[in-house]
């Protein structure tokens, strides 16, 4: 307390400094609010800077999203592939077209796998296959061009198959039997997102139509489905084998692994069964390199044959090691079985 009974207080609150002098007890001086702007300009711009960074982040996210969509759209189409020259198709001889069809159909389902034509021990074996298809396309074989519109073996890329299906449908309507069969082949190898129920139905329709007209590839594909009762077709073993044998007679000896699978499922009971299965395994391996006939049949014996006969059947298999059967021998062994 001061000498006059007044309180002396020093205020230092919120930037207010002052000393109460001569004020009655209980009274305080009026507060003065400091309305001066902050001395640092940086403090005033921090909210704006945070807002700016947020907008930059949003823009960056949008750019990444748009870039991803653009890239996804870009890789859906084979921009590197030139348009097909239809004038060359008219100049392609029927004999060469037939040979091209047989070669293409033997490879297209294995477009990214090693085959005897493009084995694994050759460097960049994907590239020669693509170059060969391009060579056939440039010679006027449109089915090879259509295959390249969907598949790029050298890069392992599958493109949008929609335009290919439309083109094959048009060619099939014009009576192109190869296109009828190619519809089913492309349906098998195309990206699942491009294979709609309508595509499946049309591919089945044209495959059956091509088989009725006697095209060996359609015969082979329909026969395999009937043999096993697959892909919506009822099982008809005898008709399925008959169609496959007809395609073999017309020179189509690729993709015969389905016959090996059929007799493998029937089981191995005696030496005749082993001989027949081994025969088809050999011919399946003549195209698809991944098949190992001796190893495959031995595995089947050890897994499925009666235990008491396994040693005997393996010995018989070993006797066939140097056997090189003709496809006609395989057919003869399979009649009625």
Residue appearing with tokens 């001061």: 2
DSSP structure class, residue 193: G
Residue appearing with tokens 């493109």: 159
With H, G, I as helix, E, B as strand and everything else as coil, classify residue 10.
strand
The residues of the chain scoring below 70 in pLDDT are: 1-44, 65-80, 121-123, 125, 289-291, 337
Closest among 306, 249, 242 to 274, alpha carbons compared = 306
Q: What integer pLDDT is reported at residue 82 of this predicted model?
A: 79
Q: In Å, how far from its chain's centre is CA 251?
A: 29
Distances in Å between the alpha carbon of 227 and those of 201, 237, 238?
A: 20, 4, 7
> Residue 234 and residue 240: Cα distance in Å, rounded?
10
**What angle is formed at CA 130 by the lines to CA 129 and CA 134, rounded to 5 degrees?**
120
Beta strand ranges found along the chain (DSSP E): 10-13, 16-19, 151-152, 157-158
- Angle between helix axes 216-228 and 237-249 (nearest 10 degrees) is 160
> Residue 13 and residue 189: Cα distance in Å, rounded?
81
Q: What integer pLDDT is reported at residue 25 of this predicted model?
A: 54
Q: Where are the alpha helices (DSSP H) in 141-176?
A: 142-150, 162-173
> Residue 160 and residue 119: Cα distance in Å, rounded?
28
- Each residue's pLDDT tens digit, 185-203: 999 999 999 999 999 999 9
> Residue 38 and residue 240: Cα distance in Å, rounded?
91
* Helix, strand counts (H, E) of the chain: 15, 4
> Residue 54 and residue 48: Cα distance in Å, rounded?
10
Beta strand ranges found along 94-168 (DSSP E): 151-152, 157-158
Q: What integer pLDDT is reported at residue 53 of this predicted model?
A: 81
> Residue 150 and residue 167: Cα distance in Å, rounded?
12
Residues in the chain: 337
For residue 154, with 0-12 CB atoms within 10 Å meaning exposed, 13-18 middle and 19 or more buried, which class applies?
middle
In the structure encoding, which two tokens stand for residue 33, read together?
A: 């609010």
């Amino acid at each position: 307390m001061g000498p006059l009974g007044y309180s002396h207080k020093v205020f230092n609150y919120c930037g207010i400094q002052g000393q109460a002098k001569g004020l009655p007890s209980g009274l305080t001086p009026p507060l003065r609010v400091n309305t001066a702007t902050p001395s640092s300009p940086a403090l005033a711009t921090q909210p704006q800077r945070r807002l700016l960074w947020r907008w930059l982040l949003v823009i960056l996210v949008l750019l990444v999203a748009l870039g991803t969509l653009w890239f996804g759209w870009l890789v859906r189409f084979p921009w590197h592939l030139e348009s097909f020259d239809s004038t060359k198709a008219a100049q392609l001889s029927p004999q060469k077209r037939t040979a091209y069809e047989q070669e293409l159909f033997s490879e297209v389902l294995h477009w990214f796998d090693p085959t005897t034509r493009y084995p694994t021990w050759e460097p960049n074996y994907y590239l020669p296959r693509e170059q060969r298809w391009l060579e056939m396309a440039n010679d006027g074989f449109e089915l090879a061009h259509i295959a390249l519109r969907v598949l790029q073996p050298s890069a392992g890329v599958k493109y949008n198959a929609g335009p290919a299906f439309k083109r094959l449908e048009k060619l099939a309507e014009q009576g192109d039997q190869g296109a009828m069969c190619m519809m089913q082949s492309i349906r098998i190898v195309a990206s699942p997102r491009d294979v709609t129920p309508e595509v499946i139905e049309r591919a089945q329709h044209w495959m059956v139509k091509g088989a009725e007209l006697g095209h060996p590839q359609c015969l082979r594909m329909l026969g395999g489905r009937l043999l096993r009762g697959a892909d919506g077709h009822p099982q008809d073993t005898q008709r399925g084998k008959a169609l496959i044998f007809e395609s073999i007679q017309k020179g189509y000896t690729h993709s015969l692994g389905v016959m090996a699978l059929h007799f493998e499922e029937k089981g191995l009971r005696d030496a005749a069964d082993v001989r027949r299965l081994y025969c088809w395994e050999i011919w399946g391996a003549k195209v698809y390199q991944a098949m190992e006939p001796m190893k495959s049949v031995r595995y089947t014996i050890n897994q499925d044959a009666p235990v008491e006969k396994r040693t005997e059947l393996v010995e018989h298999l070993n006797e066939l090691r140097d056997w090189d059967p003709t496809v006609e021998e395989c057919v003869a062994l399979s009649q009625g079985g």
